[in-house]
Structure 1
Amino acid sequence: MKRSAVDASPWSSPLISVIIPVMNERRTLARVIREAKRVHPGTEVIVVVNGSSDGSLQIARDSGARVLVFDRPLGHDVGRSVGAREALGQILLFIDADMVIPASQLRPFVDAVKNGTDVALNDYSGPTRQESVHGVVLAKHALNSLLDRSDLMGASMTAVPHAISRKALETIGAASLSVPPLAHTMAIHSRLVVQRVKHVDVGTLNPLRTRRERHHSLEPLIVGDHLEAIQWLVSHTDNRGGYEDGSRQRWMVR
């Protein structure tokens, strides 16, 4: 896969790296970058342009971002890993290019990491007061329960915005960010400080995405990501994921 050179960064040692994967998001990209820059004076904005053909690349460059360019789509969430690998900041903030979130709503995630949180999550659980609950919502709640973190409810690294510390990145590795529930599981299993920080209702921020996903649902992909996370948890604990087997004398019937 062809990749261009990285555009020069205007910051020698930024405190914050805001990472934005982009594929054909010219409608919102300039505004997203503008709000990202307002998060903190020491911010670098890393835009991972992949498989774009609508002028997003030029918008990113004109906006003064550090730009990583790939000629083909990287696939769901891989841009997060690529951007994190190149990030120079001590705090990494992840947002999407198709949602314009004001800087005032992004700063609490950065502030939480400044104050000792390793993974600062969007306090967004998705719609739960329904007779038929979406599979992704169920998967997020179930995974947190398995991790003995029911207090997180449906909050997860699946949802933006969220921020992580440099310590968290070094602990779980940039590659894990391509599968957000896996990164989430690794962070909790590693006893990093993972907290719900602020509610940002991403479900209503992008109606175009919502309509698009009615026809091309990401539910199977994201539920599969959660199953991959559970598989990792079992492989790093035991066959019961660390849960007790009680007084069951299995050897009696073998």
Structure 2
Amino acid sequence: MSLHGDVALITVTYNSARPLAEFWRDRPFGAHPWVVVDNASRDGSARVAQDLGARVLDLPVNRGFSAANNIGAAAVDADVLIFCNPDVTVTQDGIAALADGARRYGGIVAPQLVNVDGSLQENGRGTPFLTRKLSHLLRLPDGRYRRFARPGELVDVVWAMGAALAISRASFEALGGWDDGFFVYYEDADLGLRAWQSGMSVRVDGDVRWQHGWRRETGRGFSARAWQLEVASASRFYRKHPYCLVPVGRRAEQLHRIDAAGSMLGARA
């Protein structure tokens, strides 16, 4: 049975009991439907989410981030979908603003994510050319790749981190949803590139600031499983978007233009 509402929140969990209890303890989703798709967690994530007021879809096996998001989207009847991680704290005003932006502009609208101390996270990104990805993994500074939105700004980005983003149902269906060939990693970059190729925009709203815990496994020391998933997703991504590997041709030129426009940091239209 589908949940009804103008806006629905969808969260994918995998052994996420602790961040759920921390970031969602005040039930910030309010009256909006909140669907949690649990990827066969072993730590009681499904029970915690249910106690917090979510409708839980308890999967028997770990289907991955993209597939679980698609399952959550299919379970709700809403004209705007907001995908948000278990370590993100949403706000009522932010939900309304992102939903308004998704309806008004189409495409994808993301909040400006912040750390616990209020400092900005680079959830807006430029084109994921392979050289930029390698520089980012090595923690080298690259202002062309990491994008931020100040208050009053609605900044064009090539893609936004899947930790938190809003999209209208019409746009989501036009894109065919998340590509569930990505188990985890690169699925958000793929979604952003497909949005631009379909004539949609991807933007970060500097007036919406949501706290994000952000504990990516490949950034926290060596994890063989995490790096295996990273390499598999990178391989799929660059096969699917070869102009990001060798930046030539019409599509690469389009992304260069978006990069240039985003770097101008224009004010909200």
Q: What is the distance in 2 between the residues matched to 1:96 and 1:70?
A: 17
Contact 1:22–1:56 (CA<8 Å) still a contact in 2? Answer: yes
Question: 1:163 aligns to what SS in structure 2?
Answer: strand
Identity %: 19
Task: Identify unmatched segments of 5+ residues in structure 2.
Answer: 113-120, 126-133, 148-154, 254-269
Q: What does 1:126-141 correspond to in 2, within 5 Å?
A: 133-135=135-137
Greater share of residues in helix: 1
Give how far 1:169 is off. Answer: 1.0
* Aligned match of 1:125: 122
Q: What is the distance in 1 between the residues matched to 2:209 and 2:40?
A: 28
Aligned length: 217
Q: What does 1:84-95 correspond to in 2, within 5 Å?
A: 84-95=73-84
- For the aligned residue pairs, the C-alpha RMSD in angstroms reads 4.0
Give how far 1:97 is off. Answer: 0.8
Contact 1:125–1:137 (CA<8 Å) still a contact in 2? Answer: no
* Aligned match of 1:5: none
Question: 1:54 aligns to what SS in structure 2?
Answer: coil
Alpha-carbon distance change, 173 to 126 in structure 1, aligned in 2, over 3 angstroms: closer
- Determine whether 1:25 maps to 2:16: yes
2:38 pairs, out of 49, 60, 71, with 49
* Aligned match of 1:16: 7
2:192 pairs, out of 184, 188, 197, with 184
* Aligned match of 2:130: none
Q: What is the distance in 2 between the residues matched to 1:86 and 1:140?
A: 39
* Aligned match of 2:259: none
Give how far 1:14 is off. Answer: 0.6
Alpha-carbon distance change, 201 to 175 in structure 1, aligned in 2, over 3 angstroms: closer
Give how far 1:232 is off. Answer: 8.7
Give how far 1:195 is off. Answer: 2.2
Question: 1:181 aligns to what SS in structure 2?
Answer: helix
Q: What does 1:1-254 correspond to in 2, within 5 Å?
A: 11=3, 13-30=4-21, 31-32=23-24, 34-38=26-30, 41=31, 43-123=32-112, 125=122, 133-135=135-137, 152-153=156-157, 156-176=159-179, 179-198=187-206, 200=209, 205-206=212-213, 209=216, 213-216=220-223, 220=231, 223-224=234-235, 226-231=237-242, 240-242=249-251
Give how far 1:186 is off. Answer: 1.3
Give how far 1:82 is off. Answer: 2.0
Alpha-carbon distance change, 172 to 184 in structure 1, aligned in 2, over 3 angstroms: same
Q: What is the distance in 2 between the residues matched to 1:92 and 1:170?
A: 11
Q: What is the distance in 1 between the residues matched to 2:144 and 2:233?
A: 13
> What one-letter code is carried by the residue in structure 2 that aligns with 1:113?
A
Contact 1:122–1:159 (CA<8 Å) still a contact in 2? Answer: no
> What one-letter code is carried by the residue in structure 1 that aligns with 2:17?
R
Higher RCO by CA contacts (8 Å cutoff, separation 6 or greater): 2
- Give the number of the structure whose alpha-carbon radius of gyration is greater: 1
Alpha-carbon distance change, 201 to 86 in structure 1, aligned in 2, over 3 angstroms: closer
Q: What is the distance in 2 between the residues matched to 1:167 and 1:127?
A: 23
TM-score, normalised relative to structure 2 = 0.63
Task: Identify unmatched segments of 5+ residues in structure 1.
Answer: 1-7, 145-150, 245-254
Q: What is the distance in 2 between the residues matched to 1:33 and 1:221?
A: 35
Greater share of residues in strand: 2
Contact 1:106–1:161 (CA<8 Å) still a contact in 2? Answer: no
1:109-155 alpha-carbon deviations (Å, 9 max, x no partner): 22312333331024453699xxx94149999967x9xxxxxx635x6
